[in-house]
Amino acid sequence: MGRRRAQPAVRPRLPVAYGAEVTPIKPGEPDPTPADSLARAAAEAAAVLDETAVLDETVALGAPVPPNDGPRRYEPGEFPTPPPEQRRGPQLARRSQIRHSTSDERLLANRGSGDFTHADPWRVLRIQSEFVEGFDLLADLPRAVTVFGSARVPRDHPDYEVGRRLGAALVEAGFAVITGGGPGAMEAANRGAQEAGGLSVGLGIELPFEQKLNDWVDLGVSFRYFFVRKTMFVKYAEAFVILPGGLGTLDELFEALTLVQTGKVRRFPVVLLGTDYWRGLLDWLRGTVVGTARMKDTDLDLFSLTDDVDEAVRLVVDGIASSTPPQPRGR
């Protein structure tokens, strides 16, 4: 095969506006004068970018283009000039949202209003600090079980004595005891654990009508946010034992069951202590919730029901040791 003959170079007239027709210059043809070329290119570019502009081909280089009072229309493939923008870490601000001061400048400025402490960014920092406080306090906690129950149980009530015996039995089985740190059943479990020589932990909550940590708490912290507190209950416990209680106790019960059912936590026994109190809930779950296909009947095996403190501890120990929650008795 013969060698392919090289094609002669063709140069366009310069400059060429987007969308303008290219007129090639043939070899040997002289270039137009720079003034003529640039003036014509300016007119062509203006005509392409603004269809309504009235231009004369004799527009001098740099002459202003008549303004267009109508909306700007862009040709296919053409893009408007990007607006000014400002990067603040991962944040992006444009146009009127751009700040004209630096972070250091705002930090070192004179003290202003304290309203910023109630804004969401500051609230996020407070939430973060609560997680840090909880993790720091409980990082070296030994094996523990969380006990829930009503804050309204008086000290002469039978449920108080049950909670006290439960706290002691859990310590004898090798567990620290975690509660919400309040009075009633929580105090009873803390008291039983402390009197048995074990570690008694209280995780309190800031409420307008509730209490300080009870006197039988050896290690404690109070939280502003329920969800931070509940994270600590689950993260640092290996099981829940739940005494009769009200809405707060029910909230903690159903959150634990949901976490187990959805696989967010595994090998997490949940034991209800007090057959007479919890039987109505169990009957409703079985007859109404399962009966109307809102829940699987196997979900009833996520928790156990008993009246006996020693059996409650056994269910905890067996449930932790097995890969699945233990089968409850007496149901």
The residues spanned by each domain of the chain are 142-321
The one-letter code for the residue type at 236 is Y
Q: Indicate the pTM of the whole model.
A: 0.65
Q: How many whole angstroms separate alpha carbon 271 and alpha carbon 282?
A: 13
> What CATH class is the domain 142-321?
alpha beta
Which structure tokens are listed for 62? 């740099």
Q: How many CB atoms neighbour CB 160 within 10 A?
A: 23
Q: What is the structure's pLDDT at 202?
A: 95
The residue behind tokens 């059943």 is 185
- pLDDT tens string, the chain, 331 residues long: the values are 555 554 544 444 444 444 445 455 555 555 554 555 555 555 555 554 444 444 444 444 455 555 555 556 656 665 567 777 776 666 677 677 787 776 657 666 766 667 766 778 888 898 999 999 999 999 999 999 999 999 999 999 999 999 999 999 999 999 999 999 999 999 999 999 999 999 999 999 988 775 689 999 999 999 989 999 999 999 999 999 999 999 999 999 999 999 999 999 887 999 999 999 999 999 999 999 999 999 999 999 999 999 999 999 999 999 999 855 444 444 3
Angle between helices 309-321 and 158-172 (to 10 degrees): 40
Q: What is the structure's pLDDT at 51?
A: 44
CB-based contact 197:272 (threshold 8 Å): no
- CA-based Rg of the chain, rounded to a whole angstrom? 38
3-state secondary structure of 314: helix
CB-based contact 202:214 (threshold 8 Å): yes
